[in-house]
Amino acid sequence: MIKFFRKIRQKLLTENKFSKYLLYAIGEIVLVVIGILIALQINNWNELRKANNREHSLYQNILIDLENEDIILNSALNQYKQHSDAYYHIYYETMGKANYDSTSNKLDIYNILRWHNVFDFVVTIKHKNTISEITNNNIIELLNEKANIESNVLQANQNFNDFIDDIIIPFFIRHRIYDSNKAFQSEKYKFSPLLDNNFIRNDRLKSLDASAEFDQILVELKIKTSYAIVTLQGLIKKNREISMALREELKKK
């Protein structure tokens, strides 16, 4: 093709048809420019297609991780509900209004008073560096709302865990709530037996020097668990909104 155009240029020059040569040269330049523009457009289309494919794959991965996160968040929610149920049981027992057999091993709920809640957000951890590739404004807005709710959940969970470390455990030590004999009867180097072996002396919680303060602690625990439950429920709901939006986008592709 290049030899063909060269022959035409040479023929025009040898025949002294300079004006036609000039027009031809301009036309050839235009053709080259058009070719370059077409090549650039094709490259842009290819890059756009690749970006769309990456975004499509990102949506699918986020959907999978939202499902995994849903399991984690519901587990955390159930843990907080178990805490809340335990506080109600303990409160009514310390008030002498228990409606169950407090001697039953199944109702050794006092250990829960000192356990923390620990969980992570799968999507935020795994996709914090790739979320910027999302172009859909609605999904971006939903993810931003998710981040704000996550901040509230983290704060609620941190406040709860800090309260256990800063208030409850020192309270137990100060009022000699731990039954050291039971604690050291569990298998050495093992942690799980401590979860099952009730080494909290609930009789001490009912004593005159501890009960008034403990009632106030239970009130604060009720407040903190209630707020944590509300924020977790909000995050679970927002995650489901994001899942629906992602599925709608995937149907369009």
Extract long-range pairs of 67-73: CB within 8 Å, 24+ residues apart: 67/243, 68/122, 69/121, 69/122, 69/123, 69/239, 70/236, 70/239, 70/240, 72/119, 72/120, 72/122, 73/119, 73/232, 73/235, 73/236, 73/239
Please write the tens of the pLDDT for every residue from 46-56.
667 766 778 88
pLDDT of residue 14: 59
Please write the tens of the pLDDT for every residue from 11-49.
544 555 545 545 545 656 666 667 677 766 766 776 677
For the entire predicted model, the pTM comes to: 0.76
- Give the CA angle between residues 15, 18, 24 to the nearest 5°: 100
Kindly indicate the confidence band of residue 104, based on its pLDDT and cuts at 50, 70 and 90.
Answer: very low
Please write the tens of the pLDDT for every residue from 206-215.
775 667 888 8
